[in-house]
Structure 1
Amino acid sequence: MKAGYVPVLVGKGAAAATRFLVQVRLFNDPCMEMLLELAADEMGYGQKGVLSIPCDADFFRKVVRSIPTASKTSLVSVPQSCS
C-alpha cells in the first residue's frame, strides 16, 4: 500500500464495492466528513477491516474531485483482485 493512503471500499454490498486508495489528508474535507457520517449512520462506528462507504463509486469520485486540495493522484482505484 502507498504511504499516506487509506484503503476504502465504496458501494453497497461487497459484490458491488469498488476499492480505492484515498490520501489521508482528504478526510479533513467537509464533503468527505459527510460521507464518513453516512457510513457511520448506516454501519455504525465499529466497522472492522477496510473502511466502507455506502455510496455509488461514481458519486464518490465526484466528491473527491470537488475537493479543492485534491490532485489526480489523491484517489487511486484498485482492482478487487489486488485486495
Structure 2
Amino acid sequence: MPLNVGTGVETPIAELAESIKEISNYPGKIKWNTKGPDGALRKVSDISRITNKLKWKPKYDLKAGLTKTIKWFENNYESAIAKI
C-alpha cells in the first residue's frame, strides 16, 4: 500500500521553484514552458493514510525540509558519486 509523505499543505508550483532556487543559491532565472499544457498550478500530498496507519506527522514545513535536503545533498554529493 503506497503512503504519501509530505507536509499536507497545498503549495503553488511557482513557490516551490522559487524556494528551491533561493535555498540552493541558484543565480539563474526559472524558465517556464509556456508552450506546453499548463498542468497543475499547485500540489498537495494526501498524508491521511500515513498519519492514520503509522501515526506519522511531518517534523518540518516544506521550506525547512527543502533546506535540510539540499544542504545534505551539497555536503554529500561527492562521496555519493564516488560510490556509484
TM-score computed with the length of structure 2 as normaliser: 0.27
Quick check: which one's helix share is greater?
A: 2
Quick check: which one's strand share is greater?
A: 1
Between Structure 1 and Structure 2, whose CA radius of gyration is higher?
Answer: 2
